[in-house]
Each structure stands twice: as C-alpha cells, then as structure tokens.
Chains A and B, each alone.
Chain A
Amino acid sequence: MNIKVVRTTAEFEGELAETTALVEGKDLVPWGGDDGLSIVGARATRVDGVARVTGRARYTQDLYFPGMLHVRMLRSPYPRARVLAVDASRALAHPGVRGVLHRFNAPKAAFRGEETIFRDEVRFAGDEVAAVAADSEEHAADAVRLIDVEYEVLPFVADLEEAMRDDAVRVDAKGNVSESGTFDRGDARRAFAGAKIVVEAIYRTSTQIHNSFETHGAVARWDGDELTVWESTQHVFGVRAGLQAALKIPYRDIRVLCDYMGGGFGSKGGAGKYTIVAAMFARQLGTPVRCFLTRDEENLAAGNRSATYQTVKISARGKKIDAIEHLSWSNSGQGRWVADPTGPTKGLYDIPNVRTRSYKVVTSLGALSSFRAPGYVEGTFALDQAIDELADRMGEDPLALRRRHAARQSDPVTGQRYSLKRLLRCYDIGEKEIEWQHRKPEGTRGSAPHRRRGYGMASQLWGGSGLPPAYATVHLNPDGTAVLRCGTQDIGTGTRTVLAQILAEELGIDVGDVRVELGDTNSQYSPISAGSLTVSSVGPAVRLAARDARMQLLEAASGLLEVGASELRVEGGKIVSKGRRVPLGEVLGQVDNYTVIGKGSRFPNPEGLSLKTFGAHFAQVEVDIRTGEVFVEHVVAVHDIGRVINPLTAASQVEGGVIQGLGFVLSEERVVDRPTGRVVNGNLEGYKIPTVRDTPKITVRFVDEPDTRANNIGAKGLGEPPIIPLPAAIANAIANAIGVRMRTAPITRQRILDALSLQ
C-alpha cells in the first residue's frame, strides 16, 4: 500500500491551520445524493443504547480497582498569592492518608507551558496548591483541611471590565489586555463617516460553565513501566501527549482509555493536572489512583466560556448593510488564548466594509477552555442583535435584510467558493415553520394582557469540515460480524452509532453485526472529538476501511465460491452472485480462522474551497412584563450541514444545542464576588442550567443535501452549530416582544425588569 504525505488547511474552533498527514491508497468518489444508500441517512437507535439504559455502560468514574487510592486537591482560597510554605504533617498523620504532593516535593512535570503542577504563585481562587492521596475520598477530603499553607496574598483583579481599565492591578507581566486578532475589509470607518443610519451598542455576555455531568478526572495504574490511564476525555491521544510531556516516558508505555464519557462540551481536550497527579501518586505509591474533581471544583478549575464585552457599530446604505465594526474583549482568566467572538462578523454576511479587533484580557480567574462553538456564541449574540437594531432603524424586516447579505456563494474572508452553502434555504424553511408573518415590528399582545409576544431569528456560521489525520481499522470476522477500531471517542453525540452505519453501508452488512471500539490509544490516531469534526474526520476513513475490507472479502469469496470476484457483491451480510445469496458466515466459515482487515485514512479537504456549515434559528417568545419572565414557546432550528447520516441522533444533538443555548441566554451566569475574587455559585444549585420545565417546543429541520465536494461521505459537523444562533434569536424575539433591547446575557428577569423600569 502506498503512503503519501498530504498537507491541508483545515479549520478548528474558528481558526485555520496547516496540517500534515499521511494517507494510504486512494480516496473514494463521494457518495452522491442518489446513490441508493439504505443505512446511511436512515434513523438508527444508538448501538450502545442497551449499555446506557441498563447502567452497564462503564464511565471512568465507575471504575473501582482493588487497593485504589483517592485524591483530593487543596485549592487556593485566594485569587492571587505566593505559596511560601506548606506543612503537610497534620494531613499525613490523618488516618488513611498515603501521600501529599505540593510545590516543594512534587516531581518536576511540564504542563501546558509551565514546568510544574503546583505553581509558586497561585493565580485564581481554585488553583491547585496540594494534593492528598488516601484510602477513601472522605479521608482525603478531611486531610486536605489539615494542610497548613503560608500564603503571601497579592493584589488581583477578578472582573473583566475592571481589568480593562488603565489603573487596574496588573496580573500579567505584559499587561492585562493584549490584541489577539484584527481584520479589515474595505474601509468601515470611512463608510461610517458618510452614513445616514448608524447604530452603535455595547453587548455583554457572562461566563458560562460547562458543568459536564461526569466531572473531569482520571484513574491511573502502573504495571511495571507501563502506565494505563482511564480518563473522561474528548481526546485520548491528547491525554497521551500530555502524559508523555509531563512524565517523559515513551508512547510504548502509555495507554489511555475512554470508553463511555459523561459529557465534555469542549472542556476535556487533553491531560489535566488531575491526570498527572493521579499518575505521579500511582507510581510513587504502587497502587491504582483515582483523581476526580468535585462539582464545586468543576465550576472553578475545569474551564469556562469567556465573559465578553463587545461593541458593535453598524451602518446602512440604501437598503443594505454597508459597514460594521466589531470590537471584543474576552475574559480569558488565566488562559493563554482567546476564543474570538468576531469570527461570524468577518464571514457570515456579505458586507463590504468590515473592521474587527479582538482582545484578550487576563484576570485572576480560572482559565477559559473551548465551550461548544467558543467565541461564535458570544459573537453571534452581539452581531445578530446589532443587525436587528439596524433593521429596526431602517424600518426593514430583519429577515429580509439578512437575505440581502446571505446569498453570496463565496467566502468573504478568503474569496474562495463555498463547497456548498444553503443559508437562504435555511431561512425559507425557518420562516415557514415559525410562521414569521405573525411577527409585527412592535410585537404583539401575548396570551394574557400582561404578556407580550415577539419573534426573532439569527444565523449560524461555523466550520465543521473535519480534517486529516484520522484512521480506522475494520476486522471482519469469519462469522460475518465486524469490529471497527478507531482512536476517536463518543462524548454523547452518537459517534459509535454513526460510524457503525457508515461501516455497515460500505461493507454491506447490518449495523447489528458491527461492534465499535473507540477511545483507546492502542488504536490508530483520531483527532479530538471537538470542533464539530468527529464524523467529518473519522467517517471518511471508516468508509475507506470498510471498502478495503469489502474488496478483500470479495477476493476471498471469489476463491472460496469459485466465482470471479467481479461477479460478486456484498449485500445485507450476504455474498450475492448470479441470484445466489450466501451468508458471509458460510463463505468465510469455510476457513474459520481468517480475519479480513481493512484500513482507511482521512484524505485532505479539497483545495481552493471554503467548507462551512450554515443555519438559522427562529424563536417565538412571550414575556411577562410584570415579572420579567421569558416563556420560550417555539424554537425552529434549521441547519445546513451536508448529508445527515442519522436523522434521529442529529435531531437530538440540535435539541441539546438549543437547550444549552437557552441556558446561556436566559439563566447561566458564573457569579464572582469582586472583593474576594471567589466564585459564589459554583454548584448546580446556584448555577442555573435549564431543566425539563424550561424546554420549549423545538422543531428541527435539516437541508440535508450531501456536500459532495467536502469528503467521501458528504457530511459536515453538527456538534456546535445548534448552540450558535439560539441566544441571538431569543434576544431578538424578546426585544421584538417588549420593545426594549436586552444587550447583556443572560437576560434574567431582573435585567428585564430593570430595563422596563427605565422606559
């Protein structure tokens, strides 16, 4: 088999990057729209459904090994302090305690650009100061309270807008604020100077916490030189790389596993401090060690969606948007990057003059991490409200205004043609489903005299093309059943099921005859399950592996049946030849010891094309103007993601995105006490995620047109698109209902009442 080097530009979380990968053989002609597929494109219940509903699915948190020790962390109570001394003697004397690690005794370990796990200067309330390993979680938790630490408390800043001020405490040597992205198209400032209608406003979004139900954590076990780590992760290979960097041991000796995992939403992208600490303790103490964050810790130190402060200035010329300027400041906490909110402003609408600037703001708070469409949710909240504000001033219907800027079939950022763009189709479907004609510019009376009704919508732009490298291996057993092995993970999105469908379709067997084994670094590499790229990266490799297996199967069958291979095909688990249908098990069963092994790799994306996903959300809400309560009555979510492989799991994913978006826009807000720099609602009691009662009627629609230029399965990603436009659509509907623009998320009852009282 010939191996080729390919270089390709691909998008991850809104950023374009060059990647190099190795591919084997030749890519396949993409499945077209009328290729008679019977499994791909059909509803399929989850292949791991039984395991998940019987409690048999074993998550990392469900692993208990004999002799296993439990770790709890001591976390800084101060947002910024120097750790001068640690006295662990009282903790070590506590029953069941086996070890304590802290900055004065922990082995050196490279971790995300630093050389140690326990910093000499802690930088947020919740930063790791020490770790205790004990025979029970209870003993570990008790012992944590017995560690005596001497701190030198330092000045801090724990608020985005405070940190932006010139006289703010500097918590970063280079200054709190740094520019992270600039973009110019045309000349926005000149356009504003000559414009008759200009709208300018400030938008704010709050810090959103992932609150994955399985908290971050790992279990580590050494067998001699071999380290096995079970981790709740979106990227087993990322965890492996983190362990290698920290512990300086070869890949040969590291195996990372993640079978079932309880949600990540972007926050579980690689090894955490808990991983390294578990591995260190396990080596030192010679027994398996488990280190999981508590719910409180999950809210402090496991990442978040940055709060933002954004200004948008937008102007019209005639009946069209002429210019837009979008400036954004993101609270990265102690993170080192920015999830840029200006991405949609640059590329979503065809606007001639665009100017964007994005800034990172360092504060004394936990680092950001990717959270489902990082930047794009926050940015779309500002952008699509600004468009509505402009439409109001122009006296235009906001949907009609967007249509004038949504038809362009090339990417305004790169000038490249889109592989497929059906944004206008999304508008058409959504307009009809929500019955947009009921929208009146001044809103309407709701279902009671004190309730106002409004309609709003917003658009979605995201990547989701997927990228190499990704590999898959298919083992076809002599009885006609198959095992698919690949290094990706199913974080709850249905990856196992969708990959089984692709395999079954291409190989010609039933989904029920496929077992999918994921989340193991002893398989071939797959990328992180994030960025809406799992299916579009791994799916094409699975199809190639299945094709490879099928070709070999036909060769084997040709010999065994004494029929030319060209006269054979595989269908429904049977070899079909001239009207004869022989089950695979009977054919291969003649030699009950041969396993057909098919391999496949992900080929690069097409050159010179822009691969994006599009969509639009429409919302109908009522607002009780006495209480400020928002009743979301109906959400219509329409997405253009290429081929839909499984309409059942895809619809679930969209509903999930809509509901998480509702949390962002209506209820979720990490609250920090400014005088102490501490998070005061770090649990599911005080941090309000949506409940079943907050769930509106949701109508999910897909354009479902295969993107035959994108990859051999014609599918793009869906993980992130359904959270992106929802907050702006709701905000626009609220503004339509009450006639007041709500520019701060979450739009709580208090904020609505405050805004109404100012009228």
Chain B
Amino acid sequence: MPKAPQYVGPGAVDVQLEVNRDRVSVHVPPHRTLLDTLRETLGLTGAKRVCDEGTCGACTVLLDGEPVYSCMTLAVACAGRCVETVEGLASENALHPVQQAFIDNDAFQCGFCTPGQIMSCVGLLRHNASPTSEDVLRAVSGNLCRCGAYPNIVAAALAAAKKQRR
C-alpha cells in the first residue's frame, strides 16, 4: 500500500485503500465520507446512514482493525489503510461467529443498526477474547438500536466470544 499522499481539493482525487481484503481505487472529492464512498461508489450498502453525524453508530466499520464511524471519516483519510465492512466478515461457507451469534440470539429486529452493532462487537473481540459484560456494554454503547434489541446484542457478543475461545 502506498503512503497516504497529501490531498488538495476541491476536485475529485484518486484514493487507494483496502476494502475487505481487496485493493480498490476510488475517485472521490476530499470531503466525501468513507460511508458515502462505501455505499455509493463501492456498492457496499451494509453500513447504514442513520444520523450522518456520529451519534448512532449504524455506519460503524473497522479501520485498521479499529471500529470507526464511517460517516465521520473521510475517504481520503483511509488511503493506504484497511477497511472492513460487514460484507467482508463471512467466509465462503461460514458466517463469522459474531454474525452467527446475532442470529442465534435474535440480536436484531428491523436489522438496520445490525451491521454497525456487529462491527463494534467484532472490533471488541479482536482485542479481547474474553470480554466481560461491562466490556461489551462499552463496545456497543456507541451503537443505538431503536427496536431495542440491546439485551440480545449483549448476549450475542458474549456467546460469540465464548465460541471463539473454544
């Protein structure tokens, strides 16, 4: 991956980044968010736009393994970095343990906040293989859910961690 160049606007610029293990190049204005770039340029509509101002977490993706609000991240700031979205979690024949735990624990209703919830939980489990309930609460406290699936989201994260340890 090339080192991030200095970008000047206002016109569109080329940005190279890694998305779900694929190297991609996008041509976007410097003020374009990562969220809009994922959704509108790359067709990855898993991350959702709910508040578009860093309040709800429905747009959460991993940037170099860390959960970030993609609506608060500029695409140009991701040059040379690795982005992971909900679309990249499952392998050919198996869901990611967090995804499977979300299904088993019924951790969603309308499902609109779900991709963000899942990415926050995946981010947590990367650093912490044995999270406590408190760790999970901290990890998803920036992810709102209007349907109120919270108890099951916490249960799912703990179940996924347990399964991953085995």
Interface set of A (CB-CB < 8 Å, partner B): 45-46, 49-50, 52-59, 61-62, 64, 210-215, 260-263, 265, 294-295, 491-494, 648-649, 651-653, 655-660, 683-685, 689-693, 695, 698
**Chain A: minimal CB distance from B149 (Å):** 6
Contact with A along B72-101 (1 / 0, CB 8 A): 000000000000011101100001000110
Contacts of A53 in B (CB 8 A): 86, 95, 99-100, 102-103, 108, 111, 114-115, 118
User: In whole Å, how far is B128's beta carbon from the nearest beta carbon of chain A?
Assistant: 17
Please, which residue of chain B has its CB at the minimum distance from the CB of A491? B110
Contacting residues, chain B, for A262 (C-beta < 8 A): 48, 110-112
Task: Find the A residue at minimum CB distance from B119.
Answer: A55
Q: Which residues of A contact B11 (CB under 8 A)?
A: none
Extra pairs beyond A52-B111, A64-B39, A261-B110 (5, CB < 8 Å)? A53-B95, A210-B146, A212-B146, A214-B48, A263-B146
Q: A53-B114, A295-B51 are in contact. Are A652 and B152 (CB under 8 A)?
A: yes
Q: B147 near A: Cβ within 8 Å?
A: yes
In the complex, what residues of A have CB within 8 A of residue B47's CB?
55
Of B39, B52, B111, B151, the contact of A294 (CB 8 Å cutoff):
B52
B112 adjacent to A213 (CB under 8 Å)? yes
If over half of A's interface residues share one DSSP class (helix, strand or loop), that class is named, otherwise mixed; here it is loop
At the interface, yes or no: B132 with Cβ under 8 Å from chain A? Answer: no
Closest to A136 in B: B40
Are B149 and A61 interface neighbours, CB within 8 A?
no
Smallest beta-carbon distance A29→chain B, Å? 32
Please determine whether A45 and B149 come into contact, CB atoms closer than 8 angstroms: no
Residues of the A chain whose Cβ atoms lie less than 8 Å from the Cβ of B112: 59, 213-214, 262-263
Q: Contact size class for B?
A: 35 or more
Q: Which of B36-57 contact A (CB under 8 A)?
A: 39-40, 43-53, 55-56
Residues of B within 8 A of A59 (CB): 45, 48, 112
Q: Complex formed: what's the CA distance from A262 to B112 in Å? A: 5
Please measure, in the bound complex, the distance between the C-alpha atom of A61 and the C-alpha atom of B115, giving whole angstroms: 14
Nearest Cβ on chain B to A661's Cβ, whole angstroms: 9
Which single member of A50, A54, A692 contacts B143 (CB below 8 Å)? A692
Residues of B whose CB lies within 8 Å of any CB of A are 39-40, 43-53, 55-56, 58, 85-87, 89-90, 95, 99-100, 102-104, 106, 108-115, 118, 137, 140-141, 143-154
Partner of A684, one of B51, B99, B118: B51
Partner of B106, one of A211, A295, A652: A652
Residue of chain A at shortest CB distance from B43: A64
Instruction: Please give the distance in Å from A568's CB to the nearest CB on chain B.
Output: 35
Tell me whether A660 and B50 are in contact (CB under 8 A): no
Measured CB to CB, the closest approach of chain B to A381, in angstroms, equals 18
A61 to B58 alpha-carbon distance, docked (Å)? 13
A-B contact pairs, 23 of them (CB 8 A): A54-B87, A55-B86, A56-B46, A58-B45, A61-B48, A61-B49, A62-B39, A211-B146, A213-B48, A214-B110, A262-B110, A295-B50, A295-B53, A492-B109, A648-B106, A653-B109, A655-B152, A656-B147, A659-B148, A685-B51, A685-B55, A691-B144, A695-B148
Q: Once the chains are docked, how many angstroms separate the CA of A693 from the CA of B153? A: 12
Whole-angstrom CA separation of A655 from B141 in the bound complex: 18
Q: Which residues of A contact B48 (CB under 8 A)?
A: 59, 61, 213-214, 262
A288 to B104, CA, bound (A): 38
Q: What are the 10 tightest A-B residue pairs by CB atom distance, in nearest-first order?
A: A55-B46, A492-B110, A659-B148, A262-B112, A656-B148, A62-B45, A49-B103, A52-B111, A492-B109, A213-B112
Task: With both chains docked as a complex, state the minimum distance between the C-beta of A688 and any C-beta of chain B, in angstroms.
Answer: 10
With both beta carbons as reference points, the residue of chain B lying nearest to A723 in the complex is identified as: B148
Of A54, A214, A657, which is within 8 A of B95 by CB?
A54
Q: Which residues of A contact B45 (CB under 8 A)?
A: 55, 58-59, 61-62, 64
Do A657 and B148 have beta carbons less than 8 Å apart? yes
Tell me whether A55 and B85 are in contact (CB under 8 A): yes
A656 to B110, CA, bound (A): 11
- How far apart sit A651 and B109, CA to CA, in the bound complex (Å)? 11
> Among the listed B86, B144, B152, which residue makes an inter-chain contact with A54, where contact means beta carbons less than 8 Å apart?
B86
User: Which of B39, B114, B147 has the most chain A CB atoms closer than 10 A to its own CB?
Assistant: B147
Q: Separation in Å of the B140 CB from the closest CB of chain A?
A: 5
A683 touches B55 (CB 8 A): yes
| Residue in A50, A263, A693 whose CB lies within 8 Å of B147 | A263
Is there an interface contact between A260 and B111, defined as CB atoms closer than 8 Å? yes
B86 neighbours in A (Cβ, 8 Å): 53-55
Contacts of A58 in B (CB 8 A): 45
Complexed CA–CA distance, A210 and B147 (Å): 10
Q: Given A58-B45, A61-B48: A213 and B148 within 8 A (CB)?
A: no
- Is B111 in contact with A684, judged by CB distance below 8 angstroms? no
Residue pair B95, A494 in contact (C-beta under 8 Å): no
In the assembled complex, the Cα of A427 lies from the Cα of B154 at a distance in Å of: 29
CB B92 to nearest CB in A, in angstroms, measures: 12
Considering the chains assembled together, what is the distance between the CA atoms of A212 and B50 in angstroms?
A: 9
Tell whether, in the assembled complex, residue A494 and residue B103 are in contact, meaning their CB atoms are under 8 Å apart: no
Whole-angstrom distance from the CB of A664 to the nearest CB of chain B?
12
- 8 Å CB contact of B104 from A45, A653, A655: A45
Q: Which residues of chain A come closer than 8 Å to B149, judged between CB atoms?
A: 652, 655-656
A651 to B89, CA, bound (A): 28
Q: How far is the CA of A415 from the CA of B163 in the complex (A)?
A: 56
Bound CA–CA A213/B56 (angstroms): 9
